[in-house]
Structure 1
Amino acid sequence: MSPSLSSPSPPRFSPSPSPAPSNSVVVLMTDWRSIFFVSFVVVMDSIKLSVVQMNSWPYLKSMDPNIGEEFYGVAKSAVTFGTILASLASGYISNYLSHTKPSFLSGILMSFFCSLLYANLEILVEQWRKWAFLALEFLIGCSGGALIIWRTQLAMSSTDRDRQKATALLSIAINLSFILGPVIVLSTKYVFPDSLSLPWHAQLSIFTAPVYIQSLLSLLSFVLLGFFFDGQMHLAAGANARHGRKGKPRAEIGGTESAPLELAVPRREGEQCEMIRPIYKEFILFVFDRSVSPVPPASPSKGHKVLRPVKLDHLAIFACFVVRINFSAFLLYMISLSSPFTMSAFDWSGEQAVIYTMLTQGVVGIMGLLISIGYALRIFTRFKERKCILASLCLMLIFFLVSFPWPFLSARMPANSCAFSWCDSTPTVNVYVYHVALVMCLGFGMPVGQVNLDTLYSRMLGPIKQGTMQGMFFATGESMMFFGPPLMNVAYKMFGPQPIWVFEIVLFFFGIVLWLLCYHRLMPNSESFGKLPIKTTKCGPLPTVKTDGGLLHVD
């Protein structure tokens, strides 16, 4: 029985009062409300990178001048170790509970307390400060790892068609945090040019004042998510089966592992047959209309068609993991060796290195933000994910090829800025060639590659609970950050940049070859399903539909 279209009742969508025919379809919509709130949390948490992590070394040295770089390296490994453990645990727990909200709230709450404790390390006895710092670095990593569940929430809340746009919105959030973080730090330096003593014997300074602001932002995120966020893992199907006005559901849509097909028919409003609101209207409705609330997914019943996702292509999944390692290897170089190498190769002082690095990061940040906005506005959606990822890999490979210390280069490492035994015999690249290639990689290759890799990987997994797989995906890349820094630093001090560059070139070459071999297998899970018939209603033909992991959504 099809629903009546002559009723003047307000709901825009009306479900079938009885099981739909076997050839009916489902209308799916991306849950932009969840994605907006997750984006806000990502902005608030990513600010921590500039506010806490970037200033942790001078803050630690101000408390204990005798601490060496070796201990600081161990502390950075502790951050990565905590991130890996928490990302795997949060993915498993979210799958077990079919809910991402506990992981979000626990990560935010942990970040709040860590920020407060971090800002008050000075009240401890001096010999205990570094060990407390080490413990807090581990807990900060755990808080960040728990919040990585945003990848799962994004995949479960967006349809196949909107996945790239949703990923781009999260990328915009991350780029905004890279701008807001330095603004907070510089603003506190202007407000508090000198340290102020607090009643509990702590100092309010450029190191601690931004951390207090970070803790307040974490508290705000905790309150917003606690009261306004629904983290049930419905997929786009279940998460969008929301009540409209008067409590009438928009569409009867099934659960996560299988989905019954119900007929979702739009109601006519004047001369317009509206299926999906614009994003800003969805967000305003969510904030001001509390009658809009999620409902649990329906269970398959007799007369429903149940569609199940196809078996995962493990070789294609492995190729995505390898590319994730490639991107992490490039970031590993940037974190571990970029500053020491440029200071030695170009004879820069510490102040010059900071100035030129900030200029480079400014250009990179602007490029990354523009690219993310382009994906959010669907300007770049005409480019396939596979081709964009391949282009990013090739661009990073070119960077290491053009910056390699080839024997035919005439310039050598400056003797006054390089004190290692290999300095006199090691050629160096031109400073302009190096930085142009670096800006292209970080400003173009990295954002394009990350957005498309996250999008393609989540679409390849299909309509399953993605918590565990997303946790493994993230932890695989982070493992490079855990083992890489000490090994890379030792190799650089003993043998120079050549073995590091050779390792990166071989790794990227392997990733490109594997990607080409698996190229035709790298496709969304939804493309394995056959096309279902398009139905027509009294309101006109339904919009073009595409399969979404066994489900359908409108274009």
Structure 2
Amino acid sequence: MSTDAFELEASAFLNDSTKLKDGVKEQNSADLPTKTDWKAIYVIGLITFVAFVVNFLLESNRWPYLQEVDTDTTAEFFGVASAASKAGHAVFTLVFSYWSYHYQCVKPPIVFGCLISLISCVFYFCVELLTDNRRYLMAMCFVLFGAASSNITVLRAYIASASLPEDRTKAFSASSLSILLAVIVAPIIQISFSKIPYPGWEVLPDVRFHIYTGPVALAALINVVVIGITWFCLRELPKRKKFAGPANGSTIDYYKAKMTAFLNLDIKWGLVLLCCCMKAVFTLCIVILMLIMPVLYTTSYGWSGTTLVQISAISMGTAGILSLVVGLLYAFLGKYIPQRVAFLFALFVFGLLFVFTYPYEAISNPVAPYNETTNSGCNPEKYDWCQTAVAPPAILLVVVQTAAISLCMPIAIVSLDAIYSKILGQINQSMLQGAFIIFEDIVFIVGPIVLSAIFTEFGTSRLWLVNIGVVAAGVIAWILCFRNLKPYS
């Protein structure tokens, strides 16, 4: 079989809607969906909502609980543990993406991820059975949580396959709104468990139910719900044509032909890389808000673990409600707003978050002194800058953070996802959607380690300058490619 035949057959497998004719790729409209499957899109939204409630519950109290069960925990260890969690997410994103791509299925990867999450919840709930070095078991739980949550990646390709290009923004909005609704619900659940302060109720010897383990127990039950919804409510998409491979060819020839056709697809690879880099820039802001900010609050303002959980829950709940409103408006009005403009706006506002909350001397106060009883405040044995560092007013940081999340998260997520999906076109997007998430995971792996090291060595001011520089570079890169993005926005 000739190389051209390899390309034709591999192309049919990789992309039912693209064919090669005289070396030119053209669209086969007969292979495109005739209409958007909104029922499937809404089921995806329901699964996404329930899954992200679990994710938020499992992530909301990691730092304060680590400090409670193991006083030897440092910000750097937390950063490394968080990075390991995202490394697990990155590895299993590839596993689940290839699983879904190769076997053309969605249900098995989702269910398997939920089973991993169930196991990790059991380990997390029993961490106090250990007498020392509990932080290492917690870190293992982080890794398992990260691996489990990567199963949702396969739903991104499902949305792209089940929707028409003109409905892509609205289809991704349904999934994004589900995430925002989870942001509202998860803090409400978290606050309800704050009525059971640590050490809580002993349900078994050295196994306790309290503000930190209660949400994990609920998350375990929710995983069972996700399995049920996935198995009974989600339908598999029609299978695409299988790639038979070259006649009498070796395994190497098989994958060579597949890769040749893949690289020859009519895709703007430069714009694919741009979107992946923008995903990384946006994720860096999320790393600060999700992983570094809790450390900053306890260190700079002396908040106890319970106070941090309560204020974070209120802040995230408020942000979730406002984000849901913004997301709903954007879902209906987004077709009138160029997606490239929307993402640029969201990225620019996120940059302003760090500009407005920079610890300027004129408006800042000295960081809180260390309190051994609550293990909060700035510990000079861990941070050399405690005596000279200042922090902006806590209310300013909380309000600006909440406002930025509310305005930027729904717009940035939906607009970038829609642009990326349109750039890929009507191919089987499982692997490239997985690659898109890998860029996010790389930042979640490297970001906590690097950013926590900068925070440990220099404090908030240097950390904020780094983020301002990265976001500014992202804004400039997006503007330089503005004209090339127009057909996809």
Give the structure 1 partner of residue 433 of structure 2.
470
Alpha-carbon separation, structure 1, partners of 2:124 and 2:387: 43
- Partner of residue 449 from structure 1, selected from 403, 406, 412: 412
Shift of 1:509: 1.9
The structure 2 residue matched to 1:361, chosen from 316, 334, 337, is 316
Which amino acid is the alignment partner of residue 110 of structure 1?
I
TM-score of the superposed pair, with normalisation by structure 1: 0.68
Kept in 2: contact 1:396–1:441 (CA 8 A): yes
Q: CA deviation at 1:398?
A: 2.3
CA deviations over 1:217-275 (Å, ceiling 9, x no partner): 211221232233223366xxx8xxxxxxxxxxxxxxxx799xxxxxxxxxxxxxxxxxx
- Asked if 1 retains the 8 angstrom alpha-carbon contact of 2:92 and 2:147, the reply is yes
- Given candidates 510, 519, 525, the residue that maps to 2:482 is 519
CA distance in structure 2 between the aligned counterparts of 1:414 and 1:191, rounded to whole angstroms: 32
Aligned match of 2:86 in 80, 85, 92? 80
How many residues get paired? 429
State the Cα distance separating 1:464 from its structure 2 match: 0.7
**Aligned ranges for residues 178-193 of structure 1 at < 5 Å?**
178-188=183-193
User: Quick one: distance in 2 between partners of 1:510 and 1:215?
Assistant: 41
Which segment is superposed worse, 350-359 or 447-456? Answer: 350-359
The CA distance in 1 between the partners of 2:195 and 2:399, in whole Å, is 33
User: Which of these residues, 367, 381, 386, is aligned with residue 340 of structure 2?
Assistant: 386
- Displacement of 1:421 in angstroms is 5.3
Q: CA RMSD in A?
A: 3.4
Cα gap change, 1:91 to 1:336, in 2 (>3 Å): same
Partner deviation per Cα, 1:83-126 (whole Å, 9 max, x = no partner): 1111122112221122222211211222223223432344x543
How many angstroms apart in 1 are the aligned matches of 2:88 and 2:32? Answer: 41
For residue 131 of structure 1, report the CA deviation from its aligned partner: 4.0
Which one of 453, 456, 459 corresponds to residue 493 of structure 1? 456
Q: Distance in 2 between matches of 1:204 and 1:355?
A: 17
**CA–CA distance in 1 between the matches of 2:195 and 2:458?**
44
Give distance in 2, aligned partners of 1:458 and 1:60. Answer: 39
1:426 Cα deviation after fit: 6.0
> Is 2:173 the partner of 1:168?
yes
TM-score computed with the length of structure 2 as normaliser: 0.77
Q: Distance in 1 between matches of 2:392 and 2:354?
A: 11
Instruction: Quote the offset at 1:344 in angstroms.
Output: 6.1
Encode CA deviations 1:150-176: one digit per residue, 9 max, x unaligned.
211122212112211121111221122
Query: Given the superposition, is the C-alpha separation of residues 507 and 312 from structure 1 closer, same or farther in structure 2, using an over 3 Å criterion?
Result: same
Summarize deviations over 1:462-509 as a string: whole Å, max 9, x none: 101111111111111121121122222222232333432332222222
Deviation (angstroms), 1:65: 5.1
1:216 aligns with 2:221: yes
1:537 is aligned to none
- Answering whether residue 43 of structure 2 is matched by residue 37 of structure 1, we say yes
Deviation string 1:503-524 (CA, Å, 9 cap, x unpaired) is 2222222211211121122256
Contact 1:158 1:166 in 2 (8 A): yes
Paired residue secondary structure (1:52): helix
Match of 2:154 in 1: 149
Question: Matches of 2:166 and 2:193 in 1, distance apart?
Answer: 43
Aligned 8 A contact 1:326 1:507 in 2: yes
1:197 corresponds to which residue? Answer: 203
1:233–1:402 CA distance, 2 compared to 1 (3 A): farther
Distance in 1 of aligned mates of 2:391 and 2:63? 29
Cα distance, 1:69 vs structure 2: 4.8
Structure 1 position 323, deviation (Å): 1.1
What is the SS of the residue equivalent to 1:337?
Answer: helix
Q: Percent identity?
A: 23
Other structure's SS at 1:161 match: helix
Q: For structure 2, which runs of at least 5 residues remain unmatched after alignment?
A: 1-27, 244-263, 370-377
Would the alpha carbon gap of residues 393 and 341 (structure 1) be closer, same or farther in structure 2, given more than 3 Å must change? Answer: same
Q: For the structure 1 residues 358 and 506, does the alpha-carbon distance in structure 2 shift closer, same or farther, using more than 3 Å as the test? A: same
- Counterpart of 1:29 in 2: which secondary structure? coil
What amino acid sits opposite 1:395 in the alignment? V
2:64 is the alignment partner of 1:101? no
Kindly provide the amino acid, as one letter, of the partner of residue 350 in structure 2.
Answer: M
| 1:331–1:157 distance in 2 versus 1, CA, 3 Å | same
Q: Give the Cα–Cα distance (whole angstroms) in 2 for the partners of residues 51 and 456 of structure 1.
A: 30
Aligned residue in 2 for 1:534 = none
8 Å Cα contact 2:181/2:321 also seen in 1 = no
1:79 deviates by 1.1
CA shift at 1:380, angstroms? 3.2
How many angstroms apart in 2 are the aligned matches of 1:38 and 1:63? 37
1:550 corresponds to: none
More helix by share: 2
Cα deviation for residue 385 of structure 1 reads: 0.6
- Provide closer, same or farther for how the CA distance between residues 213 and 475 of structure 1 changes in structure 2, counting only shifts above 3 A: same
Give ranges in structure 1 of 5+ residues lacking alignment: 1-21, 239-254, 258-308, 528-555
Q: Distance in 2 between matches of 1:517 and 1:172?
A: 30
> What is the distance in 1 between the residues matched to 2:349 and 2:429?
30
Aligned positions of 1:332-343 closer than 5 A? 332-341=287-296
Q: 1:520-539 counterparts in 2 under 5 A? A: 520-523=483-486
Q: Against the structure 1 CA distance between its residues 34 and 24, is the aligned structure 2 distance closer, same or farther, given a 3 Å change threshold?
A: closer
Does the Cα contact within 8 Å between 1:35 and 1:154 map onto a contact in 2?
Answer: yes
Give, in whole Å, the separation in 1 of the partners of 2:297 and 2:193. 30
CA shift for structure 1 position 405 = 4.6
- The residue number in structure 1 matching 2:8 is none
SS at structure 1 position matched to 2:334? coil
Give 1 or 2 for the bigger CA radius of gyration.
Answer: 1
Change (3 A) 1:103 1:191: same
Instruction: Give matches, 1:52-451, under 5 Å.
Output: 52-60=58-66, 63-64=69-70, 67-122=73-128, 124-127=129-132, 129-188=134-193, 194-198=200-204, 202-232=207-237, 311-341=266-296, 347=301, 349-350=303-304, 356-376=311-331, 378-405=332-359, 409-414=361-366, 416-417=368-369, 422=385, 429=392, 434-451=397-414
Residue type matched to 1:321 in 2?
A: C
